[in-house]
Structure 1
Amino acid sequence: MSVVERLSGACAVRPAGEADTVDGVPAQAVARPSCAEQTSALLAACHAEGLAVVVRGHGSKLTWGRAPERVDVILETGAMDELVEHSRGDLVATAGAGMPLARLGDLLAGGGHQLVVDDLAAGRGADGAGSTLGGAVATGLSGPRRLWAGPLRDLVIGVRLVLADGTIARSGGKVVKNVAGYDLAKLLTGSYGTLAVVTEVTVRLHPLPQEEATVLARVPHDRLGPALALLVASQLAPRTLEVSARPGADPLLSIGLGGSVEGTRERAQTLAAELGSPDLAGPSVAVVGPEGPPEKTAQLLADETGTHGTATDETDADQSARPTLVRATSRLSGIPELVREATDRGFAVTGSAGVGVLHARLPEGTAPDAVRRAVEEVRALTLRLGGSTVVLDAPPAVKAGLDAEATWGSVPGLDLMRRVKAEFDPVRLLAPGRFVGGL
């Protein structure tokens, strides 16, 4: 009896096709449950049969992390994509794990709210739909606005989940001030689907600003430190503080502001004046917004390459051509040195200089040995600067030469993480081997 036949009583199941792989590892079947109860029935059946399961939303980050040891069933979350509740008075929303972040943003905007999570995989995945809410939780997705609202793990206040044996559970609640029980939501955020299948997520929202503006400044490497120090200490309340840099070019700073119309415009002009001093960016400053000069903005952005939307697409025809994507962290004072080192090693860099998290990309076609040397050199620096370096994605030829430690680096608390995995998934059926330490 085939895997499809054995699972057909749980939910909609079809045979896997050529495109149904996880980082090159083929699946036997694709299941599409429409609710937590069907997910429970599916996982219970897979548990009884010893079938390994990997969750897929739009596939925009399916090659992040390590390739799983095996994949018997791909569990698609696309049928669990409803906005379950939008409590406008409490600034809270609950949605299915398969809800696209872009569509969730449109729905919440109708009530004047937003989930402050930036989709680093926008335009990627199935039909270019980017990340789903569940996929964002699974990979701990956080982007530029983390400076303002904190990482995604701090915005998730409740989850509905299904364990590997089919047990349905809840953690947290539907109000911000909820302290009942263990905070499993934080444990699951960034676990790459290795502990449980999230079917529903409750998140904390923020009001949409009346006005937004961005200040751009092209700053030479030797002035990047003083410019970032000024911005980090600024009383003008920037909501984003991004740095982008590529080999052979001066870094570009992008500072986002939001709030009332008058206040936002005034703060943007004040910040632009401060950055425009001769010992910082000089004349290479522009304000993007209703009063910003478009011609100057275009000049500043000319030939700029960013990496925030660089999650690789599992549906791409040539998987060997994808870039190497690295996340590097540092204490704030070390960001200028990290930017310089990374670009000297051939990386294009962008990231949240205000929280010490950068994403760096080596171009397609970089030789595997060159990738490994560049990663090792950047990792050595980030360790000295109090941070870490993780290889989020790389071409198959590069991944083949990276073991788990080379991918994730040295991870404190790995023994504890293994014990947690053993409690949640003792027979290792959920994305086995995909996460840190071969979990």
Structure 2
Amino acid sequence: MPGSGSGRERGAGARGTEAGSTSVGAARGRPRKAGRAAALSALAKVCGDVRPGEPEEGVLGVVPAIVAAPATVAEAAEVMRTAAGKGLAVVPRGAETRLDWGTPPDRCDLLLDTSRLDAVVEHAAGDLVATVQAGLGTDRLAEVLAEQGQRLALDFPLPGSTVGGTIAAAAAGPLRLLYGSPRDLVIGLTVIRADGRVARSGGKVVKNVAGYDLGRLFSGSYGTLGLIVEATFRLHPVPVARAYVTRAVPDAAGAREAVQAVLHSPTAPSALEVAAQGGGVVIGVLLEGVEAGVTARTAQITALLGADAKVGEEPPEWWGAYPDGTTLIDVTSPPAALPGLLAAVEETGPGASLTWSADGRGHVGLSSETTPGQAKDALERLRSLLIGAPHRGGAVVRYAPETVRAELDLWGPVPALSLMRRVKEQFDPEYRLSPGRFVGGL
């Protein structure tokens, strides 16, 4: 199931202001005043940081009745157990970098803040494994691992994201070409289920829950299956040397030829990105390893891309970032579809931009000047190109201003919806966890 955001971005056009809205939807599903007081009192008995929600803490306009910030896994379990007893709808929150992804929740009785669950539980450097709590910032995790010459091989388009939010949103950057996404690097997960029970799978823990691989199941679940509280990751050494090779290409055909040349070469790039904006297209390749090997492979890539390719130790400005704009569309598009994808973005207008990774995932950004009708046309154009044979891709709207979002089918067709619904009903039969945040009202 695709992913649970743990926060909304600040200062990102319409996104930053919309989340704190006090529109009609802000009060939707909030418990009555007397019931809210009873729930607040019950939660205060099991958690040291509980308070009424504030308008600026709204999740896409839906203001939480209560905010709780447990400091331990045990405390978080008690909060979830109490919420179940009171029938409260729970929405997790981390660092608020992706809380505006998806659709507004039907209710937000309790906003569960994971920011105090920020410990490094264990770093077994000799085993290249680390267990950390969900509220730990990925920036801080990178600092801790770097002290031992190691890293979590995920690069993060949004600095400041938390571990839990990154897993829940299945977020990854250019390095996913070689290392994969969170579902590939999580080897163990601890979650709290809707009824407050703690469940563990993978890692150093033998027990699985109902046969599920929780790491894969919760990657991209948008907070709809349970509260992620701890994760165990497979780590990799920090490379001794790295080089970025970039080159502007003349057109979509040139971009595809360059991508295919690199992918079919023996150079084993860690990442390969294409960026397009304002009619210009540029390709970038990241090489990592020992110094002599990187030097030799850089020469090979330069020969493939052309003598005017640029080589540097630092990434280009656009590397790994979401494209500019107040509407973000996540696209699944194999290399064969790249020319059509670039053409579709260009047809959308001068304000549209694209970043695409050779692993087949990319993002299209639409500017604040894009009208709801233009956004709808752009989304239909992308889906017409990508969905079905031969590309078997898709396009999902991650965020958009409220006026644009109201006109769009954010998720598009989801053939596995009935299966996803059965999984949801097994983990959260009362539909209290981030209700309505995900596809099909899950």
Matches of 2:327 and 2:347, distance apart in 1: 16
Matches of 1:310 and 1:119, distance apart in 2: 14
Q: Hey, what does 2:40 align to over in structure 1? A: 4
CA contact (8 A) 1:335 1:356 kept: no
When normalised by structure 1's length, the TM-score is 0.87
CA contact (8 A) 2:332 2:360 kept: yes
Find 2:321's aligned residue among 285, 298, 308.
Answer: 308
CA shift digits 1:340-376 (9 cap, x unpaired): 2123213200021x11111110011311111111111
Residue 224, structure 1, aligned to residue 255, structure 2: yes
Structure 1 unaligned spans of 5+: 123-129, 277-281, 291-296, 312-321
Find 2:167's aligned residue among 131, 137, 149.
Answer: 137
Matches of 2:226 and 2:207, distance apart in 1: 22
Find 1:394's aligned residue among 400, 406, 416.
Answer: 400
CA contact (8 A) 2:156 2:320 kept: no
How far 1:179 moved relative to its partner?
8.8
CA shift digits 1:239-275 (9 cap, x unpaired): 00000001322x1111000000121122112211221
Aligned with 2:56: secondary structure?
A: coil
Aligned with 1:104: secondary structure?
A: helix
The count of corresponding residues between Structure 1 and Structure 2 is: 399
CA contact (8 A) 2:323 2:354 kept: no
Residue 148, structure 1, aligned to residue 178, structure 2: yes
Matches of 1:272 and 1:85, distance apart in 2: 42
% same residue = 40
Q: Hey, what does 2:428 align to over in structure 1? A: 425
CA contact (8 A) 1:142 1:152 kept: yes
Residue 334, structure 1, aligned to residue 325, structure 2: no
Matches of 1:396 and 1:371, distance apart in 2: 12
Seen in structure 2, the aligned counterparts of structure 1 residues 386 and 196 have a Cα distance that, compared at 3 Å, is same
Q: Hey, what does 1:314 align to over in structure 2? A: none
Find 1:247's aligned residue among 278, 285, 288.
Answer: 278
Residue 35, structure 1, aligned to residue 35, structure 2: no
CA contact (8 A) 1:324 1:361 kept: yes
CA contact (8 A) 1:173 1:202 kept: yes
Q: How does 1:198-237 map to 2 (within 5 A)?
A: 198-221=228-251, 222-237=253-268
Partner amino acid, structure 2, of 1:184: L
Find 1:438's aligned residue among 431, 436, 441.
Answer: 441
CA contact (8 A) 2:386 2:393 kept: yes
CA shift digits 1:159-181 (9 cap, x unpaired): 11100110111111238x99995
Q: Hey, what does 2:413 align to over in structure 1? A: 410
Residue 259, structure 1, aligned to residue 289, structure 2: yes
Find 1:160's aligned residue among 171, 182, 190.
Answer: 190
Find 1:371's aligned residue among 372, 375, 380.
Answer: 375
Aligned with 1:26: secondary structure?
A: coil
CA contact (8 A) 2:200 2:208 kept: no
Q: Hey, what does 1:288 align to over in structure 2? A: 312
Matches of 1:5 and 1:363, distance apart in 2: 45
Partner amino acid, structure 2, of 1:359: H
How far 1:289 moved relative to its partner?
2.2
Q: Hey, what does 2:354 align to over in structure 1? A: 349
How far 1:306 moved relative to its partner?
6.9
CA contact (8 A) 2:322 2:365 kept: no
Matches of 1:190 and 1:13, distance apart in 2: 28
How far 1:305 moved relative to its partner?
5.8
Seen in structure 2, the aligned counterparts of structure 1 residues 344 and 428 have a Cα distance that, compared at 3 Å, is same
How far 1:307 moved relative to its partner?
7.6
CA shift digits 1:202-236 (9 cap, x unpaired): 01001110011100010111311211110111101
CA contact (8 A) 1:118 1:142 kept: yes
How far 1:182 moved relative to its partner?
2.9
